[in-house]
Structure 1
Amino acid sequence: MRFSHPLRRAASVPPILALLGSLLTPVPAQAAAPARTTAPARTAALDAEVRGYIDAHTHLMSYEAFGGRLMCGKPFDPRGVREALRDCPDHAGNGVFAWWENFTRHGTPFGTHDPSGWPTFEDWPAWDSRTHQQAHHTWLERSWRAGQRVLVNHLVANRQLCEIYPLKRNTCDEMEVIRIQAKRMRELEAYIDGLSGGPGKGWFRIVRSSAEAREVIEKGRLAVVLGVEASEPFGCRIIAGDPQCTRQDIDRGLDEMKRLGVSSMFVCHKFDNALCGVRFDGGTTGAFVNTGNFLGTGRFWQVEKCTGQARDHTITPAGGLGDSLKDLLRLLGQAGVTLPLYPSPPHCNVHGLSDLGEHMVRGLMERNMIVEVDHMSAKAADRTLALLEAARYPGVISSHSWTDETYLPRIYRLGGMVAGYGNSADRFIAEWRRNKRLSDPGRPFGYGYGLDANGMGALPAPRANNTRPLRYPFTSPVDPSVTLDRQRTGVRTWDLNTDGVANYGLVPDWLADIHNLGGQEITTDLARGAETYLTMWHQTENHQTPP
């Protein structure tokens, strides 16, 4: 999950708003007009290589997080698409009271938008709208038909943002929110089954193992893996330096996650917790999130000069007064008093992986779960990778470009995986090239994306240099049996060239644009992405952790 927002006029926004910025009819059978072709190509046998692409990081059920009132719309509703794709009540009229949407999209809490949603979709969903549903099941279906074979859906929660946002219908308890979202995922699976002829017949299948995933894909369906991205997993908050959880809490929590079917977990996210320090958000956004860190932990982020090549993002303000007071700031920090003043970069979080954090990483290994290293501070990621290397543990992933590139060769050497954040085609291609150069030449290479849909970050924007626009209709570069025209939902038709990835249904268009710009090599690597993930997962499940 990635909170981002425009920086225009951000300095004039009240800090509490800026913090949040950093952070009746039945369903028509073809509500989103997915590509209607023959069923996706089936894998010849369970031991055959899977061909298809993977989204390693998305949030279908984040509308239940942050109190349940911040995100508008749902990926499904039993009453139909009209109810699922409905704007928030506080956006009614002309959206003037949608201050969170206005701030994250326009850089100011003041603004308007058309809140009508279905069937006109005049203003949303859009690539730069953070509060409106981006992954209705019919949009995801279009991507599956075009060649997507694995989706890693992260159940997400952030207590601090929930407590700050004034409108609520859900608890702010992070683990209870995770349980709610896990239940909603099962309900979505059953709902799609109902549209597909009955139990077990739907294209959307939640899986608990790599073998089950391969079986699902062999039948031509989408394998959905459950992950967790919580800021305070198992209540592991830290207040004034004191952890609010125990090893027993972590053990019980990990056991519960396994029972829920969770296979992949983050250790920390956005704010420092009792397990590890986070990788800072940079620039102005970082200054806002830093305020949240203070509200949640009683301390602002603390910085030390990086001693290695890896580093965290630079926090604002840096230099100037921070340089002249750096010795005093260091002494105050040691005494538990922190101020949001920082010396010149490079900046690294003083907090790495705590003893409790090491216990959680070891607990993930003992349960053969996948470790997500994104959002860890440089110091925490280094220690986590050292633990994995000592155990020769392959279950590690950077799922959406939120770790220092210095660590990517270590991830690859372990047999782990890297997926790039969902940027516009030209930026995504540039990151793929860099990451492939850093990969282990002794291992097969496959690549994925982390779209982070519904993660309060922007989806891929229209390309600034669009001299080679995507032409419609087009053939899916991953599954040539599928031909797609412009996506249509209700009476709205989207075009990647002008709309970017306005919703999940435009992922195939984005991948076609990537193919046209980047050539066959990147398409081949993306088509191997699902296989790379499943191979890593299988090796993780069969790893014997030393006592």
Structure 2
Amino acid sequence: MPLGRLLLRAASAPLALVLLTSFLTSPAQAATPRETPSAEVRGYIDAHTHLMSYEAFGGSLMCGKPFDPRGIREALRDCPDHAANGAFAWWENFTRHGTPFGNHDPAGWPMFEDWPAWDSRTHQQAHHTWLERSWRAGQRILVNHLVANRQLCEIYPLKRDTCDEMAVIRLQAQRMREMEAYIDGLSGGPGKGWFRLVRNSAEARSVIQRGKLAVVLGVEASEPFGCRTIAGAAQCTREDIDRGLDEMQRLGVSSMYVCHKFDNALCGVRFDGGTTGAFVNTGNFLGTGRFWQVEKCTGQARDHTITPAGGLGDSLKDLLRLLGQAGVTLPLYPSPPHCNVHGLSDLGEHMVRGLMARHMIVEVDHMSAKAADRTLDILEAALYPGVISSHSWTDETYLPRIYRLGGMVTGYGHSADQFIAEWKRNKALRDPARPFGYGYGLDANGMGALPPPRANNTAPLRYPFKSPVDPTVTLDRQQTGLRTWDLNTDGVANYGLVPDWLADIHNRAGQEITTDLTRGAETYLTMWHQTETTP
């Protein structure tokens, strides 16, 4: 047994907690970020993360919380069904290793022997102490998406929460307010915390100018307002959408998806590829009564390729098309390029126009090529700038149109090299008449991998280092409890290593990308303000 664990068992619980609290901070947490006196803000943005997804999918799929009033020991616990050696953690094993079989050390705080990890999908990645380290290094905006997926909730056998997506969204919004109050309590009282929920661009700008983190609420649901389909029939009305959007505004939501992962009554989705696609396609069938339907793309934009493709799918393509028209679908697909036959429905157009009428930001990621194309047509006709691709899930053909509208693009949290390559590609597509800023969509707690450790050990990140976004902040290796993480070997194992990842990106790509990232918060605020003032 490790020495640290023996010592903890020997100590009284209160004393152990006091002793271990000293491990929670790093040198970067010694000073509070300075207020920015100028009107233009400086800092980086995460445009896509899920702090409260532990309440989604039935509430038993994801382990740990970003905060717990009883402290970090309670917040960073493994799931009960992962007990012993993790052998029953079949979803964790499947998403991490590609097989339902495996094991891990289920002990979280204070040892963290096996989790959090860059490739662990079901363990908490964004405890508030880790997020605080990123804020102190220069992060100024976090767009937190309240997330729900009824179908995944129903598939997973363990539940403590409802599968009703809108009830889950309400619960997560409540948890966000509770987290803000909790951090206020740690910081001296109401309004004094560094974590501030904001409802509009002016409030966000004021928060940032005071040196704090502006937290924007978004929604990423698969069936918003109950808008699913069963055998092609919509299960919601325009009135349901109007009532739902009004409620989202009351909750403080400013940014929203129209569809996510599965086809719904509003739009077709951009497929997942590979083995993940096969699993999600099965979910689409269970949720809607139909597998994804494919046609050969006629334009430059396309959706991801579904596998397997070709072979029998090619020989039966005419029959499959006729069966699809009759409402019968089979998971057989012709050779690519693949495009979802479903675009933006009449109800989907009503929702897009409803978002515009409420001056909300339209998220185009996860829309099928046809749906994204029609959505951009609507936004262009109204000269509406409130549009974002936040985590690399739309076809790059559409990026120039987003930029010309005054919208924003941020890249998924890939490895440093891949993130840099995507930044170069996206910047080349920008509108040169507009200022350019960039950001990332880490998708923390979104059941996707975080940036991995470097493939080789050439030019490793050296500790301690100065934040490239705020050089007044110096960071050493991230420490929590008895665990110390190193980007070079651990990748972005938790949100606290985002500053290390950005420093590695800076070391590899130079000042230009750091300048663009530093302008990310200002670019988002400018887009948001223009959205609010569009007639």
Partner of residue 266, structure 2: 275
Partner of residue 80, structure 1: 71
Q: Please, which of 305, 315, 321 is the counterpart of residue 324 of structure 1? A: 315
Partner of residue 43, structure 1: 36
Q: Distance in 2 between matches of 1:171 and 1:73?
A: 18
Partner of residue 100, structure 1: 91
Contact map agreement 1:32 1:139 (CA 8 A) in 2? no
- Return the offset for 1:31: 5.7
Contact map agreement 2:268 2:341 (CA 8 A) in 1? yes
Q: Given the two structures, how large is their TM-score scaled by the length of structure 2?
A: 0.96
- Return the offset for 1:29: 5.6
Q: Please, which of 82, 106, 126 is the counterpart of residue 135 of structure 1? A: 126
Partner of residue 515, structure 1: 506
Aligned residues: 519
Contact map agreement 1:210 1:534 (CA 8 A) in 2? yes
Q: Please, which of 223, 239, 246 is the counterpart of residue 232 of structure 1? A: 223
Q: Distance in 2 between matches of 1:466 and 1:443?
A: 38
Secondary structure (helix, strand or coil) at the match of 1:488 reads: strand
Cα gap change, 1:173 to 1:44, in 2 (>3 Å):
same
Secondary structure (helix, strand or coil) at the match of 1:505 reads: helix
Secondary structure (helix, strand or coil) at the match of 2:254 reads: strand
Partner of residue 32, structure 1: 24
Q: Please, which of 500, 505, 515 is the counterpart of residue 496 of structure 2? A: 505
Q: Distance in 2 between matches of 1:454 and 1:36?
A: 23
Partner of residue 154, structure 1: 145
Partner of residue 418, structure 1: 409
Partner of residue 305, structure 1: 296
Give the counterpart letter for 2:204 in structure 1.
A
Give the counterpart letter for 2:431 in structure 1.
D
Contact map agreement 1:31 1:81 (CA 8 A) in 2? no
Contact map agreement 2:281 2:292 (CA 8 A) in 1? yes
Partner of residue 13, structure 1: none
Give the counterpart letter for 2:350 in structure 1.
H
- Return the offset for 1:425: 0.5
Q: Map Cα deviations across residues 233-272 of structure 1 (whole Å, 9 max, x no partner).
A: 0000001000000000000000000000000000000000
Contact map agreement 1:283 1:316 (CA 8 A) in 2? yes
Secondary structure (helix, strand or coil) at the match of 2:215 reads: strand
Q: Map Cα deviations across residues 400-430 of structure 1 (whole Å, 9 max, x no partner).
A: 0000000000000000000000011011000
List aligned pairs for 1:244-263, cutoff 5 A.
244-263=235-254
Partner of residue 7, structure 2: none
Give the counterpart letter for 1:169 in structure 2.
R
Q: Distance in 1 between matches of 2:55 and 2:147?
A: 9
Q: Distance in 1 between matches of 2:412 and 2:149?
A: 21
Partner of residue 53, structure 2: 62
Q: Please, which of 504, 525, 529 is the counterpart of residue 534 of structure 1? A: 525
**Unaligned ranges ≥5, structure 2:** 1-12
Q: Map Cα deviations across residues 189-215 of structure 1 (whole Å, 9 max, x no partner).
A: 000000000000000000000000011
List aligned pairs for 1:457-536, cutoff 5 A.
457-536=448-527
Contact map agreement 2:420 2:505 (CA 8 A) in 1? yes
Q: Distance in 2 between matches of 1:149 and 1:373?
A: 23
Give the counterpart letter for 2:129 in structure 1.
T
Q: Please, which of 357, 369, 377 is the counterpart of residue 366 of structure 1? A: 357
Secondary structure (helix, strand or coil) at the match of 2:410 reads: strand
Q: Map Cα deviations across residues 72-129 of structure 1 (whole Å, 9 max, x no partner).
A: 0000000010000000000011111111111111111111100000000000000000
Secondary structure (helix, strand or coil) at the match of 1:225 reads: strand
Partner of residue 442, structure 2: 451
List aligned pairs for 1:149-188, cutoff 5 A.
149-188=140-179
RMSD, matched Cα? 1.0
Q: Please, which of 175, 197, 201 is the counterpart of residue 188 of structure 2? A: 197
- Return the offset for 1:39: 1.7
Partner of residue 14, structure 1: none
1:289 aligns with 2:280: yes
Q: Please, which of 385, 388, 402 is the counterpart of residue 379 of structure 2? A: 388
Partner of residue 333, structure 1: 324
Q: Distance in 1 between matches of 2:212 and 2:22?
A: 18
Instruction: After the TM superposition, list the runs of 4 or more consecutive aligned residues in structure 1 that deviate by more than 2 angstroms.
Output: 24-32
Single out whichever of 94-103 and 148-157 deviates more from structure 2. 94-103
Cα gap change, 1:174 to 1:469, in 2 (>3 Å):
same
Q: Map Cα deviations across residues 154-195 of structure 1 (whole Å, 9 max, x no partner).
A: 000000000010000000000000000000000000000000
Q: Distance in 2 between matches of 1:443 and 1:299?
A: 43
1:89 aligns with 2:64: no
Q: State, as a whole percentage, how many aligned pairs show the same letter.
A: 87
- Return the offset for 1:317: 1.4
Q: Map Cα deviations across residues 422-449 of structure 1 (whole Å, 9 max, x no partner).
A: 0110110000000000000010000000
Contact map agreement 2:340 2:370 (CA 8 A) in 1? yes
- Return the offset for 1:383: 0.1
Secondary structure (helix, strand or coil) at the match of 1:508 reads: helix
1:356 aligns with 2:347: yes
Q: Distance in 2 between matches of 1:306 and 1:104?
A: 30
Q: Given the two structures, how large is their TM-score scaled by the length of structure 1?
A: 0.94
Contact map agreement 1:475 1:481 (CA 8 A) in 2? yes
Q: Distance in 2 between matches of 1:463 and 1:113?
A: 23
Secondary structure (helix, strand or coil) at the match of 1:353 reads: coil
**Unaligned ranges ≥5, structure 1:** 1-23
Contact map agreement 2:21 2:481 (CA 8 A) in 1? no
Secondary structure (helix, strand or coil) at the match of 1:480 reads: coil
Q: Map Cα deviations across residues 317-353 of structure 1 (whole Å, 9 max, x no partner).
A: 1100000000000000000000000000000000000
Q: Distance in 2 between matches of 1:399 and 1:66?
A: 22
- Return the offset for 1:304: 0.7
Q: Distance in 2 between matches of 1:520 and 1:111?
A: 43
